Homo-oligomer: A and B are copies of this chain.
Amino acid sequence: MSVSPNNYKLSDRTANLTAQDLIPTTVGAVPETKEFLQKVIDILMDYIKAQNDRNEKVLEFHHPEDMKMLIDLDVPDKAVSLQQLVEDCATTMKYQVKTGHPRFFNQLSCGLDIISMAGEWLTATANTNMFTYEIAPVFILMETVVLGKMREIIGWEGGDSILAPGGSISNLYAFLAARHKMFPLYKEKGTISLPGQLVMFTSDQCHYSIKSCASVCGLGTDNCVAVPSDDTGHMITSELERLIIERKNMGHVPFFVNATAGTTVLGAFDNLNEVADICKRHNCWMHVDAAWGGGLLLSRKYRRTRLAGIERADSVTWNPHKLMGALLQCSSIHFKEDGLLISCNQMSAEYLFMTDKLYDISYDTGDKVIQCGRHNDIFKLWLQWRSKGTEGFEKQQDRLMDLTQYQVKRIKEQSDKFHLILEPECVNVSFWYIPKRLRGVPHDKHKEEELGKLCPIIKSRMMQKGSLMVGYQPDDRRPNFFRSIISSAAVTEADVDFMLDEIHRLGDDL
């Protein structure tokens, strides 16, 4: 068994103590504190080992009502013992889905980078907030260095960036900065200062957070125009221009275009140069949501073939916690123009951002963001970057893409059992599994419906068996289909073969 709650016994001296008996409330209890923490680390070490063992399950599935019986979830009136806390940790890990298992292909963020994890442990222990140099001096400097490097990779000199809690909030920052840049009175006066109904544009394949900006910020989702995409998931740029002109003719004010570099489901890259040309003609802010595909900027090969033109954008979202494998969460938003973040978001709280401080206050980042406190998301990325070097990141991106091509090749070689939906541009592979009874039946809409019905059944079987995790979903054109993701450094060709073989084992009889 991977992590068995009975295997972690504290010494008799320590087992029945409670948190109150440790530091800081019991001064001098350093040995007991260390013993407790070391026991937790033992559990985590065992978990990491098990996660990398292909004989171990990816998960041990239980329905919510059953899970509630397996773990004592109660937050009681009285303190539980240190021994109980250790067992709580072990039980929690026992039932957690191993997102870093080589057979976890389920989310955009897969894998467990050991160095990034060590960085996150340190971050927890440092337990500070990112608003001022005063209380996070080293981490603030690391942000400056790493975010500057990322902007350089995008292709900009200067500019400004911030780490945000997830791609959705990063996209929101882009929206806010665009609106502020184009309508500076808005911050104080609100909607009445606008020259007309603002309208934003994005493809119908975009991440839903783009539409959410319209809902949060006063446009209404009706004014977030979904530009049609082609069969392979790319925004049809001629449609973008037509729709901008249509809205202009209605007296509206198009101001913001989102291009997606790596769509969530199909992994498609919009044509950034075409979008940039249109934005220039119509005076729109160009944002690139590269939350997913941004990692490929680190590969010379894929930067050229997938992300050409990104340097023409006004803002770029790029999540290192996805293709780069940094721990969750690590999302960044970058701006070509410096000064916009602070001018857009500052509320000048005098209790934090005094101007009579000891040090150069240009290092205080807190007033640039709509959050006040901000989690330290930089250390795990900084340490990881040092551990690989930019060259290591490039190798990793190329390797993930090679593995994806291997999967495509294997699917094509087994075309009786698998149907590839489209040639992938990213590490998303979209496909159907074909069970025995449907092999040889001509592929048409009716067959797709049948294949779609099998996805939830196969998924449910794999979860109950615990052998594999692969996601499925429908889209506007198709019923349910599988979408596998290779973003974990743990995955090998053999794991890809296992994925396909296991789906076959689980679904052959359906």
A117 to B370, CA, bound (A): 26
A126 touches which of B96, B358, B373 (Cβ 8 Å): B96
Number of copies: 2
A30 interface contact, C-beta 8 A: yes
The reply to whether A356 and B456 contact each other, CB–CB distance below 8 Å, is: yes
A366 to B: closest C-beta gap in Å: 10
A217 touches which of B216, B464, B489 (Cβ 8 Å): B216
A67 interface contact, C-beta 8 A: yes
The 0/1 profile, CB within 8 Å of B marked 1, for residues 1-40 of chain A is: 0000000000000000011101111010010011011101
Q: Which residues of B contact A45 (CB under 8 A)?
A: 34, 37
A59 to B208, CA, bound (A): 44
The 0/1 profile, CB within 8 Å of B marked 1, for residues 440-484 of chain A is: 000000000000000010011001100001011111000010010
The reply to whether A95 and B137 contact each other, CB–CB distance below 8 Å, is: yes
Beta-carbon nearest neighbor of A140 in chain B: B64
Tell me which of A81-89, A280-288, A412-420, A431-439 binds B. Answer: A81-89
Using A220-B188, A374-B166, A460-B358 as known contacts, say yes or no to A387 and B24 having CB atoms under 8 A apart: no
Interface size for chain A: under 10, 10 to 19, 20 to 34, or 35 or more residues?
Answer: 35 or more
The reply to whether A223 and B80 contact each other, CB–CB distance below 8 Å, is: no
A209 interface contact, C-beta 8 A: yes
A264 to B351, CA, bound (A): 8
The 0/1 profile, CB within 8 Å of B marked 1, for residues 46-88 of chain A is: 0111001000000001111101100101111111100011001
Q: Which residues of B contact A217 (CB under 8 A)?
A: 216-218
A407 to B: closest C-beta gap in Å: 18
Give me 6 A-to-B residue pairs in the complex whose CB atoms sit less than 8 angstroms apart, sorted by A's number. Answer: A63-B359, A73-B145, A96-B126, A97-B137, A99-B135, A166-B371
